[in-house]
């Protein structure tokens, strides 16, 4: 029959094991205090081993194993808590307090050129125009010859071109009209497409000109397309884009359209800025346009006796400068955060 001391020690060891199992700590100091409570020179285990000397010889083995198990359990618990808290402390030192609420993410702003380009695309998409794209490195045929600009044509001088070294037939496109040629070669009429993209011309950089800029060119080809269709399309665009309902078309010259015209909108003379940007006339030039030359249709394998069409083109930077009253085209390419942040709330 077991002695009373044996029973008391077994119950005490069981209670201590439960205490160890339920213990948790939020700091290394608490873990160290817990360790001293059990394993210190005046700790619980010290007292238990002192009482162990009074246990009957026949009960020594059982109590001894229980005490050793208690010490091992307490040591393992202390080591596990230390490792956990030390790792957590390391994470906080590397990344800060991971339990803090996250900082709000500062969203960037779209570039004004992207904003205006998307607006133009949206306006024309409402009346059935699709978007077409092409390579920025182009060949002579698509950039010049197919557009009624054969070799040595004087109108080629209107576009100072970057040619690729060692190959005079390869160049950086000077307009996105080359995309329209490729589109006509691969699609049958009716065709209704706009071609936004970056173009390159060997020009001196100033407040009003740059060697890199962006264009959007439109093309519509079908049977019985007239100049009146062109005018109504452009009038719709100016109303949607600028809120202006008055335009005029002045005769002009482009090799790939005949007849050709420059498009002006009546901006008004309500403010001093209006006087400045319109030079006191109230009118602003925004794009060029015209009826597609029959030679261009023929070069793209479209019968000019059956089909006709119109084309137009505008500089995105020029439209953006008008919409946002930006005085210097170079600001678009300087990546000045102070400038770009102004467009953060523009959708």
230-237: long-range pairs with CB below 8 Å, 24+: 230/289, 230/290, 230/291, 230/310, 230/312, 233/127, 233/310, 233/312, 234/263, 234/287, 234/289, 234/312, 236/123, 236/127, 237/120, 237/123, 237/124
Confidence band for 221, pLDDT divided at 50, 70 and 90: very high
For range 43-66, the mean pLDDT: 73
Helices (DSSP H) in the chain: which residue ranges?
4-22, 28-39, 44-52, 60-95, 112-125, 140-143, 177-186, 227-242, 272-278, 294-299, 316-324, 337-340
How many of the other CB atoms lie within 10 Å of CB of 149?
Answer: 20
Confidence band for 1, pLDDT divided at 50, 70 and 90: very low
More confident residue, 76 or 1: 76
Per-residue pLDDT at 8 exceeds 90: no
The fraction of the chain above a pLDDT of 90, given in percent, is 42
| Least confident stretch, 4-13, 245-254, 299-308 | 4-13
Ordered by start, the domain boundaries in the chain are 4-95, 112-343
Per-residue pLDDT at 6 exceeds 80: no
According to the model, what pLDDT value does residue 155 have?
60
For range 204-211, the mean pLDDT: 84
More confident residue, 212 or 151: 212
Per residue in 310-333, pLDDT tens? 999 999 999 998 888 888 889 999
| Least confident stretch, 3-12, 120-129, 183-192 | 3-12
According to the model, what pLDDT value does residue 91 have?
55
The fraction of the chain above a pLDDT of 70, given in percent, is 90
Query: In this structure, what DSSP letter does residue 335 have?
Result: -
More confident residue, 250 or 156: 250
According to the model, what pLDDT value does residue 92 have?
55
Which residues lie below 8 Å from residue 70, measured CB to CB, with a gap of 6+?
13, 16, 17, 20, 45, 48
Largest CA distance in the chain: 122
Question: At the top level of CATH, which class does the domain 112-343 belong to?
Answer: alpha beta
Do residues 196 and 314 make contact, with C-beta atoms less than 8 angstroms apart? no
Instruction: List C-alpha distances in Å: 140 to 101, 152, 163, 168, 198.
Output: 59, 12, 10, 8, 17
| Dihedral sign (CA 171, 141, 196, 130) | negative
According to the model, what pLDDT value does residue 95 have?
59
Averaged pLDDT score across all residues of the chain:
85
According to the model, what pLDDT value does residue 214 have?
94
For range 14-27, the mean pLDDT: 81
- Quote the pTM value: 0.67
According to the model, what pLDDT value does residue 189 have?
93
């Amino acid at each position: 029959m077991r002695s009373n001391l044996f029973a008391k020690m077994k119950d005490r060891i069981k209670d201590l094991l439960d205490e160890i199992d339920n213990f948790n700590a939020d700091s290394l100091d608490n873990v160290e205090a817990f360790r001293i409570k059990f394993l210190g020179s005046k700790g619980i285990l010290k007292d238990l081993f002192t009482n162990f000397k009074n246990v009957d010889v026949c009960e020594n083995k059982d109590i001894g194993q229980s005490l050793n198990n208690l010490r091992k359990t307490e040591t393992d618990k202390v080591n596990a808590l230390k490792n956990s808290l030390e790792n957590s402390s390391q994470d906080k030192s590397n990344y800060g307090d991971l339990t803090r609420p996250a900082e709000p993410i500062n969203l960037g702003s779209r570039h004004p050129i992207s904003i205006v380009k998307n607006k133009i695309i949206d306006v024309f998409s409402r009346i059935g125009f699709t978007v077409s794209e092409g390579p920025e490195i182009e060949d002579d045929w698509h950039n010049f010859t197919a557009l009624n600009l054969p070799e040595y044509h004087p109108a080629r001088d209107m576009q100072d071109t970057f040619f690729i070294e060692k190959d005079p037939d390869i160049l950086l496109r000077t307009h996105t009209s080359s995309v329209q040629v490729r589109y006509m070669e691969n699609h049958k009429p009716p065709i209704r497409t706009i071609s936004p993209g970056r173009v390159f011309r060997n020009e001196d950089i100033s407040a009003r000109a740059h060697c890199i800029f962006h264009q959007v060119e439109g093309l519509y080809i079908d049977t019985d397309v007239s100049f009146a269709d062109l005018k109504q399309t452009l009038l719709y665009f100016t109303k949607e884009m600028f809120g202006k309902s008055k335009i005029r078309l002045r005769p002009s010259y482009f090799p790939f359209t005949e007849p050709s015209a420059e498009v002006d909108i009546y901006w008004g003379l309500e403010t001093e800025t209006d006087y400045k940007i319109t030079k006191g006339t109230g009118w602003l030039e925004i794009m060029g346009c015209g009826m597609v030359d029959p030679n261009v249709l023929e070069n793209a394998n479209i019968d000019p006796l059956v089909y006709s069409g119109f084309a137009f083109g505008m500089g995105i930077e020029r439209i953006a400068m008008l919409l946002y009253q930006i005085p210097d085209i170079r600001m678009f390419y300087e990546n000045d955060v102070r400038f770009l942040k102004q467009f953060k709330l523009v959708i």
